Amino acid sequence: MKIAGILFDKDGTLFDFQKTWGKWAKVFLTEISNNNIEEAIKLGNHIGYNYRTEEFLSDSVVIAGTPNEIANKIISFLPKWNIIELINYINEVAKSAEIMAAVPLKPLLIELRAKGLKLGVATNDGSLPAIAHLKSAKIFDFFDFVVGSDSGYGFKPNSGMQKEFCRRFKLKAETVLMVGDSTHDLIAGRSANMICVGVLTGVAQKSELNSYADVVLNDIGEIPKFLIENDC
**Domain limits, the chain:** 5-16+99-229, 18-94
What local confidence, expressed as pLDDT, does residue 230 receive?
86
C-alpha 61/C-alpha 52 separation (Å) is: 18
Render pLDDT for 106-145 as a digit per residue (tens, 0 to 9). 999 999 999 999 999 999 999 999 999 999 999 999 999 9
pLDDT at 48 > cutoff 90: yes
User: How much is the average pLDDT of 71-86?
Assistant: 95
- Check pLDDT > 80 for residue 147: yes
**In the predicted model, what is the mean pLDDT of residues 55-74?**
94
Q: Return the SS3 of 143.
A: coil
182/145 Cα distance (integer angstroms): 20
Q: Which of 46, 60, 54 is nearest to 98 (CA)?
A: 54
The pLDDT score that the predictor gives to residue 122 is 98
pLDDT in tens, 198-228: 999 999 999 999 999 999 999 999 999 999 9
Under the banding of pLDDT at 50, 70 and 90, the label for residue 7 is very high
Strands (E), 48-128: 49-50, 55-56, 118-122
**Sign of the Cα pseudo-torsion (128, 131, 134, 138, in order):** negative
Domain 5-16+99-229 CATH superfamily: HAD superfamily/HAD-like (3.40.50.1000)
Strands (E) in 55-167, as ranges, are 55-56, 118-122, 145-147
- pLDDT bucket at 1, cuts 50 / 70 / 90: confident
Give pLDDT, residue 4: 97
Q: For residue 12, what pLDDT is reported?
A: 96
Looking at the chain, the whole-number percentage of residues with pLDDT higher than 90 is 96
